[in-house]
Amino acid sequence: MSSVVATMSISLDGIGAGVRQTEERPFGEVPEDALHRWMFETPDENRAEIDDIVSAGAYIMGRNMFGPVRGEWDRDWRGWWGSDPPYHRPVFVLTHYPRESVEMDGGTTFHFVTDGIHAALDRARDAAGDLDVHVAGGPSTTNAYLAAGLIDELALQISPSIIGGGLSPFTAVGPLRLEPISGRQASLVTHVRYRVLRSE
């Protein structure tokens, strides 16, 4: 069976996004360059990790990760990434409001799941085949999957910044035992990967 990998950029104090997200502030009230300088300023140095983030057979994300639209889908929002998102695979978006699937250029199709995290994971596993499923965020979605014991590995990109407040993927998940798999220091980020150990 394929693995479920949670991938996320976080600050040194474990913040993955700020509160009060808007269309102009996709990551909410955090400094604009606090979490993702490594990806945009030094992509060549981090090419292996960037490629790994988009190597899954299917993805799961929360509605905030997909966009700032709240409530009913009253506008034709198609994500933050333009006409050709980087995923090129099925993406399952958790939401309380039904919406028809949205096909994008390059093979990405956004499917909107209204019946919870387990249903989204079942659909993502079916779509991924032998490839991994990536839980792409945001923090609340990663938190929900961790709390439910559904994550096999954590792939974290830790930026050398302390934000001091915001949304963390580790809130209320209980104690977790992690086994280090790999780590690499780059100029603007530390990449670490852990196996999540199941309680006996």
Per-residue model confidence as pLDDT tens digits over 65-124: 999 999 999 999 999 999 999 999 999 999 999 999 999 999 999 999 999 999 999 999
Asked if the model's pLDDT at residue 200 lies above 70, the reply is: no
Query: Which two three-digit tokens encode residue 41?
Result: 């300023």
37 lies in some domain: yes
Q: How far apart are CA 167 and CA 27, in angstroms?
A: 10
157-192: per-residue pLDDT in tens? 999 999 999 999 999 898 999 999 999 999 999 999
Angstrom distance (rounded) from CA 34 to CA 25: 13
Alpha helices in 54-170 (DSSP H): 63-66, 117-128, 139-147
Residue 194 lies in a domain: no
- Residue 7 gets which letter from DSSP? E
Q: What domain range is 34 assigned to?
A: 4-70+79-189
Strand order in the sheet with 4-10: 102-103, 109-113, 90-94, 58-62, 133-137, 4-10, 153-158, 190-197, 177-185
In a domain, 200, yes or no: no
Cα-to-chain-centroid distance, residue 70 = 19
* Cα 90 to Cα 124: distance, rounded to the nearest angstrom: 8
Q: What is the pLDDT of residue 55?
A: 97
172 is a domain residue: yes
Q: Is residue 139 part of a domain?
A: yes
For residue 53, what is the domain's CATH number? Answer: 3.40.430.10
pTM for the whole thing? 0.95
Kindly give, in sequence order, each residue whose CB lies less than 8 Å from that of residue 7, ignoring residues fewer than 6 positions away.
Answer: 52, 53, 134, 135, 136, 137, 155, 156, 157
Counting the structural domains of the chain, the total is 1
Residue 95 lies in a domain: yes
Residue 55 lies in a domain: yes
